[in-house]
Structure 1
């Protein structure tokens, strides 16, 4: 589990940089073909445009970092999993499968 900061609007544009730094810590696990999940709190009530931008940034960075064919697992605290998951699926349907759940609080290094 890799925890990413995303609670405020200004953190949206920092997602690619934060994902890169966080996933570097788990590069060895990915090379062993182990799955890494991304966790974040999420915005309380994001707008449609914010959901789309979050999905665009996560999808682009995930493909750059992890390649195609891997599952993208996203765990959110806020109740926005379906919206983010659908936006991610729309962008990644040819590249990888998307698993997006909400209502779960976790931190970096957690195992489920």
Structure 2
């Protein structure tokens, strides 16, 4: 089971994504088809529809784990699907340690753009 930030009001201020459980079955199915292109890769011709951000982290729960880039990218895809996109473009990820706002010991944060193919 994937985890993300659990304190949603604080998490929104910190730029954290919603948890995977907060997406519908339809959004999850559409997200599985979303393609992601990092900032260093060439994406197909597209139109940007909005920014997406995610945070995969150990949120201080009893089940400690390090955030993963794969989970953070999956959260970007879920958000892109929610916005009606079929691509995530120009994404960048970084590792953050000891994040007091989201209560993460270590997190993987990603930012990018949701887009649709032209």
Give the TM-score taking structure 2 as reference length: 0.31
Q: Quick check: which one's helix share is greater?
A: 1
Q: Quick check: which one's strand share is greater?
A: 2
Give the TM-score taking structure 1 as reference length: 0.32
